[in-house]
Structure 1
Amino acid sequence: ARHRSGRALKTLAQRLKGKEGRFRSNLSGKRVDFSARTVISPDPNLSIDEVGVPVEIAKHLTYPEVVTEWNLELMKQLVKNGPSKHPGALYIIRPDGKRVRLEFVADREKIAESLQPGFIVERHLMDGDIVIFNRQPSLHRMSMMAHRVKVLPYKTFRLHLAVCPPYNADFDGDEMNLHVPQTEEAVTEAKILMQVQTQILSPRYGGPIIGAIRDFITGAYLLTKKSTMLRKDEVCNLLTAIGYEGPLPEPTVKKPEPLWSGKDIFSLLLPEDLNHVGRASICLGCEVCKEEKCEHDAYVVVKNGKLISGVIDKNSIGAEKSESILHRIVKEYGAEAAKEFLNKLSKLVTTYLSIRSFSYSLDELDVSEEVKKKIDKKNKEARKEMDELVHQFNAGILPKLPGQSLEDSFEIYAMKILAEARDSCGEYVNQYFGMDNSGAVMTRTGARGTSLNLGQMAACLGQQSVRGKRIIRGYRDRALPHFKRGDPNPEARGYVYSCYRDGLSPVEFFFHAMGGREGLVDTAVRTQQSGYMQRRLVNALQDLKVEYDETVRTATGEIVQFKYGEDGVDPAKSDHGKAVNVQRLIERVKLMIEKSKPAPPSYIEEKIEKVKDQLPPLLADELKKGLLNANLPKRGVDIVVEKTVEEYNFAKIEPGESAGIVTAQSIGEPGTQMTLRTFHFAGVRERNVTLGLPRIIEIVDARRIPSTPIMTIYLTGEYKHSREKAVKIAQEIVYTTLRDIVSEVYIDHVEGSIVIRIPEENLKERGLTLDELKKIIVIQNCKIKSQHKGGFITINVKPENPEALPKLFEKIPNLPVKGIPGIRRALVTFDKGEWIIQTEGSNLAKVLRIEGVDKTRTTTNNIHEIALTLGIEAARNAIIHEMKNVLDEQGLDVDIRHIMLVADIMTLEGEVMQIGRHGISGEKASVLARAAFEITVPTLIDAAVKGEEDNLKGVVENVILGQMIPVGTGTVELYMTIPSESQSSGETKNE
């Protein structure tokens, strides 16, 4: 059967399956009405919870408002305005359900007068309406937030800059979507749960994700610099901009003319009793901190709402910075205060920058002749080092790195020399640029860019690499036909001496384009992989929610965690992962109350004993420790204990919270920012370790064998303090076959024997003796003779049955000599005061049997192996540990509670299950949930054959059926007692 145009028809199966099929395209997600999409542009004068909507869109999107006696006049006016004049209305719906389209009504005055309470008017969007704003890809819950409408002219949505990080938006042509909730319930829910200020703290790490970016940071730095003094007219401008209505603050300097310091003006934004100590982003990390006497003014002190010292930059007000002033305001004064702070800050800084101005031009990249000479000298030195390296390589005297071939070792050394050269050149430039240079201001304050960017603009670009190696591909022995064959110079292999300021030569440009292309491909692949990982995570975890007994359960009621994250704390309500910041609390109470006699320890212990059951054990211990060292009087102790309990109860996760989805988002969203291939050369002790996104995917996939299995072996007693003994164990465990130690093996047909030649040093290196070797070979039914000659040992092996010769020849190289199968290499390293062995390859069960190995600490990164050897609970710990390590190494802050939940669901059934179609998602109870994920058709056929039922307890099933999903608001039902006739009449008589 074909379509009449001749194309093949879609089969029934094709209609159902895949991204374009019925399940994913039309049932799990649909096209919606009451939505708009256009380009976004910035507007610092809006509030962070507003969105500027073009008039044209406001006229097309409507909200059905019920006419009451209170809004009757307004509704009449809107109806009179009609569809083309804003604010107007498009339809009237009468109580009998009849719709009147105002566009076709000639006499709107008449129909307006006939409005009665109970009619519904579909009116234009107006200022103050609640709408939901979204930017794809929606990677976490802050990708859809509720904003208030502000109708503005022109044709773009206007957005406040501080809200860009959660949307990951910029203004180079991004488009965003706007949705108008259509019922009173939807509006209320959006208002209470989704408004921008309620989302300032990210559930991924419990720190602010909305905050100052780019210009606000630079501006705040310039405003709060020590040297910034403002005249009266400038101060008045700034105070007007932030809507300050109090008295003019006292000038910092009175004579010859009154001047105000920028710090004092900034202080007006801070709450009056705020106290904070921190370090600015420009802090150089001196060995001894001079604190408030810092000459760079990098030590930030706020006392009672006054900025005493330090400049304000990313570390104080930036987005995605925890423990900052902004973070303190959110935690201690609430979301509304933080919103006000950000609104005023942006107006203050924008106004200040328009007075002072801030620009960056080409001549700010110029460096002195002296610096240029230094850069030249450094590059020449690197070239010399490279020549020496090439010489050593060609002469074969280059020391090999453990476990690397000569060529690989050469490449690693070369990359190291050239990377050092580039870093030094960048360092010269960065030292030359002071804080009077706009580029340095932007990078050092954390507004934009890194010192590496500056170095590449003004010093040199450095080595361009493809797949972590220098550029080799191209012609025979050379990268391009413009070089001699085997040219040892760095530039022939992709080292770029030029900087962006001076421009690149054609060859350099070509190499740079090669390196850049790899970056693009990498990004595309990474986005795709991490997107799929997030989809699998969401599918596996979507039904997990917190119940009223504080447990986390699946849709079928299986318990996954007895208490969410082991302490029941919601990361989004925590203080950077802590339920209560006890130290801060004690410091605040100290300032609140007057000093008097400290409470005795017995009083403190008694107080804590009383509340012990209401707090997690760790928090109770921390509180006890803190109070015993705080010397607070009894009243102070009472306040601290009471506040701790109160804050802990606030930070607890709410029943109905969709813990699973938040977890999936918190792990999936940073996945996109991870590096795909990490060529991780930690110094020069080489172990290949898979890191970054591939390792995370490997863990959630529960692969049987990781791509780079490694072990960390700890030793006991005497072994850990002696390198010799550690080396001995290392030699014992490396799996060695004859092939690894022989230099040649051949058949001597005259003698009818096999000749094996072994360099003596090979035996020494592996800790072997000739007798051990002989014992291994004798087992194969043969006679052997051996002789020493010129540093070689020659062994003649003659089988008893001459016909077995060819078979024996094949067998001999693979004979195991010593060691544990699976362990390819072992490095002995010194770490934290003891010798440890790090291996490539893994075999936990056998390594633990070796004498001298610490069985309690030795570990591997193969999770299945841990589960087999040490049990499921150890495997859960290993999953948490491995994932946290990868995320920390990438510098991504993810709350440990999220990782725990993933580990708990993976190990729920008593064996490690993957997150995907062959694991958790494939074992779901609901047919619809399985069909909507992957392998749609077989699932449905199978379910039909078995006559399965779907209890519709989970999320996806209800989305497909268009019902309320059973999480959040959907977990709660309201009952209302309606008074009967007799009751109500009885009451009125009594009155």
Structure 2
Amino acid sequence: VIVDDGELISGIVCKKTIGSGSGSLIHIVALEHNHEQVGMFFNNIQTVVNNWLLIEGHTIGIADTLYDQATRRQIGDTIGKAKDAVFEIIDQAHNYDLQPTPGNTLRQTFENSVNKILNDARDKTGSCAQKSLSKYNNFNIMVVAGSKGSRINISQVIACVGQQNVEGKRIPFGFRHRTLPHFIQDDYGPESRGFVENSYLAGLTPTEFFFHAMGGREGLIDTAVKTAETGYIQRRLIKAMESVMVKYDGTVRNQINQLIQLRYGEDGLDACHVEFQRLPTFKLSSAAFEHSFRFDLSNERALRRSMPDDLVRSLTTDAQTQSELDAEWEQLCRDRTELRKLIRKTDDNVVLPCNINRLVMNAQKIFESDPLAKTTLHPRQVVEQVRETCRRLVVVPGDDKLSQEANANATLLMSCMIRASLCAKKVIEDYRLSYEAFDWILGEIRTRFQQAQIHPGEMVGALAAQSLGEPATQMTLNTFHYAGVSAKNVTLGVPRLKEIINVSKRPKTPSMTIFLTGQSARDAERAKDVVARLEHTTLRKLVNSTAIFYDPDPKNSVVEEDREWVSTYYELPDFDVNAISSWMLRIEFSRKGMTGKKLSLEQIAEKITRAFGNDLICHIPDDNLKLVMRIRIMNSDLEKELKEADTTADKMEDDTFLRFIEANLLTDITLQGVPQITKVYMHLPKTQDKKRISIKDDGSFDAIAEWMLETDGTCLMKVLAERDVDSVRTVSNDIVEIFEALGIEAVRKAIECEMHHVISFDGSYVNYRHLALLCDIMTVKGKWCYLCHFFKLAS
């Protein structure tokens, strides 16, 4: 959208343009002009829109929901194909042809595949229906303008309502092995489990209507419960932060004058005056960076295009200008390196005051700069004045070393932005600014940066509490979300927000995100080794069957298939044959489980012997053809004498004791892994934020997808000590555990990241300074405080 002097040049004015968001037309009018202009703007927009509606009118009727025969056929085919695909998967599951995906059971894999097929069908039919509507369709107009409704609403009205979910899963069986009495037992098909293939226009069948009501009821209950929850969260936020304000020395303190931040938001700026801007040097490759930002005095042809001949002649022999330009280039290179160190992602958007691109456009308009004219501006002048402007950006006044360093940190991003956007090459060759225009831009930057400073006395605590409380009311209560891995459930939405601000000792879904280093990150087999080392493994996970036999003669076993190897074993025994019990526990292992966990029978036998000492004896075959283990109890000399004296009493004793041992072996012995980590999922990240960002040889960014692990259960200390684990990036979502392992600084960062994740998952955005203030208040004492104890917070 381009507006020039009150005239709409291009673009569609919609909710995003004149809504209440940051960077909207209203925000920009407020920054560029004053509050009176904004008031006039509001009134005029209303007048224009109301008059337009009088003339044009807006109405939605059945005519807006109709589409042609071809689209109807296409939608029918898509749904038909999806249903066939689901039945095919059901057949595969019946015939044991369906392979479980890594980290999932067969049932989970089946549900995930079916869900994916049905959701794809809904999306495809929806996009078919939308393509058939014209841009003058009233439904479409509403969605594009942003007044009501979304694309999904259109596709549900016209094409297909889609899968109904309860608690994030398909409709569960409520009667005996079926959802409603109208279906046969164990029907896992789409219709039986709540897939609505009709549209609202066509009308729902009775069973579809019933499932739709079940899905809708959950939404209503959620909304009712959510209002109370978020209301209380907001009250606690406000109570904890209401006294926090900016003092006259620029620090942020509470009512008992306790220091919370040295500078509000770490840059001392007011959130009203900042907007998203792009760092021009951040993403470029080295060649493109040099081409766009290095001023080359040796290239006379290029110079003559933008500067008068006499200036060009004087420049070619001017050593001082050359050294100034070299210094500028070195500074730009340092800035770029510094920024890439600070911002560890590929997104070059930053939040800064005074939009420099808009200032340049305004200057070109005010001073009527001709984009093809030659400029008399001297490159040395540009470099010196930009340097002087950056020097005059002061957030932390003072001449001592600490103040200077604090000021450099607070103004770092702004200085980098000014130096990159107003370097000599850009100003002279791209913008062709006159001396007056350039001087005006620098003056505006200084003035606006000064205006963007936060005012002493601003109650930033209440402001932050409201800014965090508002998106909480927009959240869905229970977001059933699968983080990267479809099997792994993560608490999100309001319950997670409560956990974070209560610093819950027992989070509902404790989990870790583990990044790998070296070969393990790139090689799936090596990554599986790490999974095996971390995931808690007990015998129960590896055993096919266990049985207890009365087998009094060891040399001639009652189990036929074991006779051969057992008799050879007892020919030269290394123990007293008379001391062993007549009862024997026989365990058969699953070969798939053993190879998956990378364990051998010898290792398992060693673990059992280590746990029970000489009380048990384990026999395993020499060859690994059969994965069998036979376990007997070893009796002491005293028990042996008793046994010879009385045979009947002992029979009961030994086999019940062996049963106890069997239960203990299956659940209590840890073969490998960390006991707290019950499951580990391995996957390749799809989103940019989980990929490893590396800088290629040519200086451009590369996001590399490497194997990473997600866990159920956490144990940060043990996992960080594991080899092949990247201890820098690996995180846990249990804040108390982070405090014990890494201390209070890490807790502050963890709270910030977790809050950001919860809020941004819904698509909301909260400025960093509000989050930072909350984190600082919670961790200011050197130990985390709950927000519900706001009386303790102050005292």
TM-score interval, normalised by the smaller of the two chains: 0.7 to 0.9
The farther-off stretch of 453-462 and 608-617 is 608-617
How far apart are the structure 2 equivalents of 1:829 and 1:885? 20
Query: Aligned letter for 2:72?
Result: K
* Secondary structure at the counterpart of residue 818 of structure 1: coil
Change beyond 3 A, Cα 1:820–1:641: farther
1:789 to partner: Cα distance: 9.1
Picking from 231, 238, 246, the partner of 1:546 is 246
How far apart are the structure 2 equivalents of 1:393 and 1:678? 29
Task: Report what 1:620 is aligned to.
Answer: 415
How far apart are the structure 2 equivalents of 1:605 and 1:310? 34
- TM-score, with normalisation over the residues of structure 2? 0.74
Task: Report what 1:530 is aligned to.
Answer: 230
Change beyond 3 A, Cα 1:797–1:690: same
- TM-score, with normalisation over the residues of structure 1? 0.60
Picking from 741, 745, 748, the partner of 1:876 is 748
Change beyond 3 A, Cα 1:464–1:719: closer
Deviations 1:150-197 (A, max 9, x none): xxxxxxxxxxxxxxxxxxxxxxxxxxxxxxxxxxxxxxxxxxxxxxxx
Asked if 1:689 corresponds to 2:510, the answer is no
Task: Report what 2:609 is aligned to.
Answer: 778
Task: Report what 2:357 is aligned to.
Answer: 583
Change beyond 3 A, Cα 1:678–1:401: farther
Query: Aligned letter for 2:240?
Result: A
How far apart are the structure 1 equivalents of 2:184 and 2:525? 48
- Contact kept, 8 Å, 2:103 with 2:682, in 1: the verdict is no
Task: Report what 1:924 is aligned to.
Answer: 794
The farther-off stretch of 631-640 and 560-569 is 631-640
* Secondary structure at the counterpart of residue 753 of structure 1: strand
- Contact kept, 8 Å, 2:521 with 2:707, in 1: the verdict is yes
* Secondary structure at the counterpart of residue 575 of structure 1: strand
Query: Aligned letter for 2:355?
Result: N
Aligned positions, number = 623
Picking from 468, 474, 480, the partner of 2:168 is 468
1:812 to partner: Cα distance: 1.0
* Secondary structure at the counterpart of residue 851 of structure 1: coil
Q: Percent of aligned pairs with the same residue?
A: 34
Change beyond 3 A, Cα 1:613–1:684: closer
- Contact kept, 8 Å, 2:256 with 2:794, in 1: the verdict is no
* Secondary structure at the counterpart of residue 336 of structure 1: helix
How far apart are the structure 1 equivalents of 2:85 and 2:198? 19
Task: Identify which of structures 1 and 2 has the higher relative contact order when contacts are C-alpha pairs closer than 8 Å and 6+ apart.
Answer: 2
How far apart are the structure 2 equivalents of 1:891 and 1:421? 25
Task: Report what 1:795 is aligned to.
Answer: 629
Query: Aligned letter for 1:496?
Result: V
* Secondary structure at the counterpart of residue 776 of structure 1: helix
* Secondary structure at the counterpart of residue 449 of structure 2: helix
1:340 to partner: Cα distance: 0.9
Matches within 5 A, 1:502-581: 502-575=202-275, 577-581=351-355
The farther-off stretch of 716-725 and 800-809 is 800-809
Query: Aligned letter for 1:674?
Result: M
Picking from 763, 767, 774, the partner of 1:895 is 767
Change beyond 3 A, Cα 1:855–1:634: farther
1:621 to partner: Cα distance: 2.1
Asked if 1:825 corresponds to 2:701, the answer is no
- Contact kept, 8 Å, 1:604 with 1:637, in 2: the verdict is no
How far apart are the structure 2 equivalents of 1:717 and 1:737? 29
How far apart are the structure 2 equivalents of 1:731 and 1:841? 15
Matches within 5 A, 1:313-712: 313-317=14-18, 319-575=19-275, 577-593=351-367, 594=369, 595-600=375-380, 602-608=383-389, 610-614=391-395, 616-628=411-423, 630-631=426-427, 632=433, 634-681=435-482, 685-712=486-513
1:816 to partner: Cα distance: 0.6
1:766 to partner: Cα distance: 0.9
1:635 to partner: Cα distance: 4.3
Task: Report what 1:726 is aligned to.
Answer: 527
How far apart are the structure 2 equivalents of 1:365 and 1:344? 34
Asked if 1:838 corresponds to 2:710, the answer is yes
Change beyond 3 A, Cα 1:612–1:689: same
Task: Report what 2:785 is aligned to.
Answer: 913
How far apart are the structure 1 equivalents of 2:36 and 2:483? 46
Higher helix share: 2
How far apart are the structure 2 equivalents of 1:801 and 1:649? 87
Asked if 1:769 corresponds to 2:550, the answer is no
- Contact kept, 8 Å, 2:14 with 2:144, in 1: the verdict is no
Deviations 1:866-923 (A, max 9, x none): 2222221111111111111221121001111111111111111112222113xx4444
Deviations 1:837-856 (A, max 9, x none): 33232211111112222222
Task: Report what 1:269 is aligned to.
Answer: none
How far apart are the structure 2 equivalents of 1:445 and 1:343? 19
1:387 to partner: Cα distance: 1.0
Change beyond 3 A, Cα 1:404–1:346: same
Change beyond 3 A, Cα 1:411–1:719: closer
Deviations 1:537-578 (A, max 9, x none): 112112212111111112111111111111122213433553
1:633 to partner: Cα distance: 5.3
- Contact kept, 8 Å, 2:102 with 2:682, in 1: the verdict is no
1:746 to partner: Cα distance: 3.8
1:786 to partner: Cα distance: 1.0
Task: Report what 1:757 is aligned to.
Answer: 588
1:311 to partner: Cα distance: 2.6
* Secondary structure at the counterpart of residue 707 of structure 1: coil
Deviations 1:520-540 (A, max 9, x none): 001111112111111111121
- Contact kept, 8 Å, 1:823 with 1:842, in 2: the verdict is yes
Query: Aligned letter for 2:7?
Result: K
- Contact kept, 8 Å, 2:112 with 2:486, in 1: the verdict is no
- Contact kept, 8 Å, 2:511 with 2:713, in 1: the verdict is yes
1:607 to partner: Cα distance: 1.1
- Contact kept, 8 Å, 2:531 with 2:680, in 1: the verdict is yes
Structure 1 segments of 4+ aligned residues over 6 angstroms from their partners: 788-791
Asked if 1:811 corresponds to 2:673, the answer is no
Task: Report what 1:938 is aligned to.
Answer: none
The farther-off stretch of 872-881 and 410-419 is 410-419
How far apart are the structure 1 equivalents of 2:43 and 2:237? 36
- Contact kept, 8 Å, 1:907 with 1:913, in 2: the verdict is yes
Task: Report what 2:644 is aligned to.
Answer: none
Deviations 1:465-504 (A, max 9, x none): 2111222343212222222223344222222222222222
1:511 to partner: Cα distance: 1.6
How far apart are the structure 2 equivalents of 1:707 and 1:792? 42
Deviations 1:758-781 (A, max 9, x none): 112211101222222122111112
How far apart are the structure 2 equivalents of 1:718 and 1:790? 30
Query: Aligned letter for 2:26?
Result: L
How far apart are the structure 1 equivalents of 2:436 and 2:681? 58
Query: Aligned letter for 2:628?
Result: T
- Contact kept, 8 Å, 2:261 with 2:776, in 1: the verdict is yes
Task: Report what 1:736 is aligned to.
Answer: 537
Matches within 5 A, 1:298-309: 300-309=1-10
Query: Aligned letter for 2:602?
Result: D
* Secondary structure at the counterpart of residue 243 of structure 2: coil
User: Over aligned residues, Cα RMSD in angstroms?
Assistant: 2.3
- Contact kept, 8 Å, 1:916 with 1:922, in 2: the verdict is no
The farther-off stretch of 561-570 and 828-837 is 828-837
How far apart are the structure 1 equivalents of 2:488 and 2:153? 30
Change beyond 3 A, Cα 1:508–1:829: closer
- Contact kept, 8 Å, 1:464 with 1:511, in 2: the verdict is yes
How far apart are the structure 2 equivalents of 1:417 and 1:876? 42
